[in-house]
Amino acid sequence: MVPTFSSTNFVKKYLTSIFLIICVIILSVFLGFNYKANSLIKEQMQHQGKAFFQEVVLTRQWIAQHGGVYVKRTAEMTPNPYLLQVPNFKVCITDQDGEDYILKNPALVTREISALAKQDGLFTFHITSLNPLNPDNKPDSFEREALEKFAQGEEEYFIYSQHGADFTFRYMAALKTTAACLRCHAGQGYRLGDIRGGISINIPATRIIAEMKHNHIALIASALGTVLLIFAIIVYISRIFIYDIRQAENRLIRMASHDFLTGLINRREAYNRLERACARSDRSNAIIGILLLDIDHFKQVNDEHGHSVGDTVLKALANSMLEALRDYDIICRFGGEEFLIALPDTAPIGIYDTAERLRKAIEKMRIELPDGTTLHVSVSIGISHRGRDENIDQAISRADDALYLAKNAGRNRVVTAQEAEDIP
């Protein structure tokens, strides 16, 4: 038997490698998109925080440049006690109509604006430093960490923080001391250009985080869907390839083990099967019958009718023998117009009866020719049998001697090896 090449396994490995490479590429692309989307959202939040910070700084600068803002005093309003400690500051004034006004410094104004923004759910901000005048401006852990980074030379810092189910984007940038700032903070030892604190911006980010999670899920679903689609395509293609390859392999195997004209197994495949049959017969002490069959006057058929008719005769004989013999009998085209038949587990009388039955069946055959005429042929058969532990070539050689005797004795007959051996 011709060993099959595992090309189907090769195709599976090859397509699996392609699939894995494509998966890696697709996952890399989707991960890249996901990373880029997250980076863009992060940059957007950072720009938004910076924009709010700059708006607050501009508001503070305007207020500081004008020495603060006076607002009409109400019953609930009290002067800023920290401003009262600053020399030459008019914290409370009265206009020509007797209306009282209170001075609001930049920090207080921005804090009150932050409270209004928080009420509207927009954002909040907080002015703080490591050395605040007002205890309300004391930094929290995030702000303290940011201020420490500012002291090391950084100018901005941001994170996402979570409180329960809510997320907040926290942005903070450094505040540098200006001339207007020194009016209130000169006593703290600040000099022009020093970083005296920072403004932290808190932007609600729950919706954005939710959108990012939905984006992650959508990207994962898209990636998995794409991978599954490619997997289905590759499976479909691999099945087509494997089917075609198996068909081609079967054709190659048949071409390597069968005679292309008659469809019978060839000589090499016959010997392979005979070796296995001999191994079985040795275990069971059975006899294998050997028949060598030759078409009588086949050269004359080719000469008179042409080789195409000769091919028709060979195919007709092959089909006739396949129909007359058992499925496990071994039939091969031994060479030219000669055929070898092996009959496993067959008694000597059975071997002879089978050969005689074949001879008579072939003698009665009517082979239709293309011109409408019929052709009759006969065969000569030499038979022998292979005993236990005997070389199969020896049994074939004895059958060949018997075939030679049958042809010399007038053809269209069966001769046994024993008859051939009895002739001196």
162 within some domain: no
353 within some domain: yes
Mean pLDDT of 364-377: 88
Residue 277 has pLDDT above 60, yes or no: yes
d(CA 413, CA 293): 10
Mean pLDDT of 315-334: 93
Place of tokens 């099959």: 4
Q: How many C-beta neighbours within 10 Å does residue 106 have?
A: 23
By the 8 A CB rule, do 90 and 103 touch?
yes
pLDDT band at 98; cut points 50, 70, 90: confident
CATH number, residue 289: 3.30.70.270
The count of structural domains within the chain is 1
pLDDT band at 4; cut points 50, 70, 90: very low
Residue 1 has pLDDT above 50, yes or no: no
SS (H, E, C) 79-132: CCHHHHCCCCCCCEEECCCCCEEEEECHHHHHHHHHHHHHHCCCCEEEEECCCC
Residue 314 has pLDDT above 90, yes or no: yes
Three-state SS at 323 = helix
More confident position, 138 or 359: 359
354 within some domain: yes
Amino acid identity, residue 85? Q
Domain that holds residue 416: 267-422
Mean pLDDT of 91-115: 80
Three-state SS at 69 = strand
Residue 198: phi and psi, rounded to 5, are -165, 170
Residues 160-176 pLDDT 10s: 888 888 888 899 988 87
Which pLDDT score, from 0 to 100, does residue 249 have?
78
Amino acid identity, residue 7? S
Place of tokens 């703290």: 188
Question: How far, in whole angstroms, is CA 204 from its chain's centroid?
Answer: 41
Instruction: Count Cβ atoms within 10 A of the Cβ of residue 152 and give its class: 0-12 exposed, 13-18 middle, 19 or more buried.
Output: exposed
Amino acid identity, residue 242? I
Q: What is residue 136's DSSP assignment?
A: G
Total residues belonging to the chain: 424
d(CA 224, CA 37): 19
Mean pLDDT of 122-135: 78
By the 8 A CB rule, do 38 and 260 touch?
no
Which pLDDT score, from 0 to 100, does residue 213 have?
83
Residue 382 has pLDDT above 90, yes or no: yes
158 within some domain: no
Go through 329-364 and write b for each residue having 16 or more CB atoms within 10 A of its CB, e for each that does not: bbbbbbeebbbbbbbbebeeeebbebbeebbeebee
409 within some domain: yes
d(CA 145, CA 91): 34
Amino acid identity, residue 63? I
Which pLDDT score, from 0 to 100, does residue 179 have?
53
Which pLDDT score, from 0 to 100, does residue 193 have?
56
185 within some domain: no
98 within some domain: no
Per-residue CA distances from 292 to 99, 158, 331, 335 (Å): 137, 96, 10, 11
159 within some domain: no
